[in-house]
Amino acid sequence: MSDFQVTARTQIKRLPKRGHYDRQTVYQILDTAFVCHVGFSVNGQPYVIPTNYGRTGDTLYLHGSAASRMLKALSAGVPVCVTVTHVDGLVLARSAFHHSVNYRSVVILGSVRLVEDPTEKMEALRIFTNHVMKGRWDDVRQPTEQELKATTVLVLPLEEVSAKVRTGGPNDDEPDYALPVWAGVLPLETVAREPIPDPQRKNDPPVPQYLRNYSR
């Protein structure tokens, strides 16, 4: 699996040893999350909008209401920066200065393409749905023609991409190791709880296995 080409815009300059450009690392970070932040600018005003996404190969799909200002702006060719971040732990050092966070992040730069072909749009929605909940697409009603028209789907190619990862414990100054201060890492993770059924249900099917075993 080849690496993404490093560009002047994606090269990690601050702590470059944490930079990663291989597809395996980038895919793993993208595939174990489902919320990204989309940064763009309209008439000099910057916006950063959280939204869901789906990925297949070197393609990232974004979608939303056809009335969305963000999607309309991106469809017009506005440059975009998409970020995805996992927070894996709080790094507690002996000094305030050296406190940190263990994380995995991806930054994607580029511009999007509007998906207009109905077949491609339906496939993108399948990928999007199964990215959030694997196996869900086969259980639910498929979108109607009207719902497809009300939905905008955008494609962002994974071309200018970089990942940045921090792992491990605190890096204290040598004299501080003698201080009587607890230091280490507090691991953090997202945990799925017991599913809560919709009170408006008119039948009572069992909880799907993919929901019982849900994890990222």
Express each pLDDT in 158-191 by its tens digit.
Answer: 999 999 999 999 999 999 999 999 999 999 999 8
Question: Is residue 201 scored above 90 in pLDDT?
Answer: no
Question: Is residue 28 scored above 80 in pLDDT?
Answer: yes
Whether 187 is covered by a domain: the verdict is no
pLDDT in tens, 45-98: 999 999 999 999 999 999 999 889 899 999 999 999 999 999 999 999 999 999
Sequence-distant (≥ 6) Cβ neighbours of residue 46 within 8 angstroms? 39, 40
Whether 78 is covered by a domain: the verdict is yes
For residues 12-35, average pLDDT: 95
Whether 8 is covered by a domain: the verdict is no
Encode 178-203: b = buried (16+ Cβ within 10 Å), e = exposed: eeeeebebeeeeeeeeeeeeeeeeee
Whether 6 is covered by a domain: the verdict is no
Whole-prediction pTM value?
0.91
Beta partners for residue 186, in sequence order: 90
| Domains held by the chain: number | 1
DSSP state of 139: T
Question: Is residue 200 scored above 90 in pLDDT?
Answer: no
Encode 65-74: b = buried (16+ Cβ within 10 Å), e = exposed: eeebebbbbb
What distance in Å separates the CA atoms of residue 175 and residue 153, rounded to the nearest whole number? 55
pLDDT in tens, 122-132: 999 999 999 99
Looking at residue 167, which CATH number applies to its domain? 2.30.110.10
Whether 146 is covered by a domain: the verdict is yes
pLDDT in tens, 130-155: 999 999 999 999 999 999 999 999 99
Q: What are the C-alpha distances in Å from 111 to residues 38, 71, 84, 185?
A: 11, 12, 17, 38
What pLDDT, on the 0 to 100 scale, is given for residue 115? 96
Whether 39 is covered by a domain: the verdict is yes
For residues 103-120, average pLDDT: 96
Whether 181 is covered by a domain: the verdict is no
List the domain range (segments joined by +) for residue 161. 16-172+204-212
Whether 62 is covered by a domain: the verdict is yes
